[in-house]
Amino acid sequence: MRPISDGVKDIRLAGDIGETLIAAVLDQLDRGELERMATAAHEVIDVQMRLNLTDDNVVGELIKNAGTFFEWNHYPDGDVYYAGSASQFFYHAHPADLRVGEHGHFHTFLRPAGMPEGVNPAPVDDYVAPKDANDALAHIIGISMDGFGAPICLFTTNRWVTGETWYSGPDIARMVDLFEVRHTQPSWPVNRWVGAMLRLFKPQILALISARDATVADWARSGKAPDGNVFEDRALEVTSYCHISIEAQARAIDAALEAAI
């Protein structure tokens, strides 16, 4: 991945502009949503603490039996796919000169079999329906990890990056709560952690998805895409991002819950 600020609509939600903004967002959520986020925070922290007991982390846990770690390869091979929810994810790393500040990142997806009723691919000019309807997958969010296996950033991408099918932001927003991997392979802790991260940082993810659409629309209006197809323009890779802190998010949730009493 190129430097994270290159060609990006920077909304910097969490650590970058302090905890004030996320606290204001949390204040708008009902108690049930806050409690779901608090449960997710406990799950994320529990997984990390248990792995730390043996000096492990979620990245190391996922790739520990994969042999030599190769840039660009998907880990695990063939991705993680849970048919029960049609959720999918993988981890990979770009070459060192293209991943400034990170070791690698997770990409999370939902396939049509798990999508809400009425959701269809966006009506973009070059859309071609896949032979298997369930292959029209949507990218939800990327989770960037540092060299110690800790999450540092959330981001969205342009269509060409993952080969996804393009869905509108409001439709992807409806998918966030549906992402879940309940089986134990290849790693139950990692499967739990990835799903809990999407619940813990749902407000940021929703804002990033909205910012993704704004970035793509701005890019299209600018005429920067050489052939007019913004979705395949290699100059636009990361479409929105924000830095994150599990500890800051947990504190903000606790404060919002206390204020809601």
DSSP output for 140-192: EEEEEE-TTS-EEEEEEE-HHHHTPPP--HHHHHTTGGG----S-TTTHHHHH
pLDDT digits (tens, 9 = 90+) for 225-248: 888 899 999 999 999 999 999 999
For residues 56 and 65, give the distance between their C-alpha atoms in angstroms, rounded to a whole number. 13
pLDDT for the residue numbered 228: 87
User: Which residue has better confidence, 243 or 6?
Assistant: 243
Q: Please say if the pLDDT value at position 2 is more than 60.
A: no
Q: Please say if the pLDDT value at position 105 is more than 90.
A: yes
Q: Please say if the pLDDT value at position 151 is more than 90.
A: yes
pLDDT digits (tens, 9 = 90+) for 7-39: 344 443 433 434 566 777 888 899 999 999 999
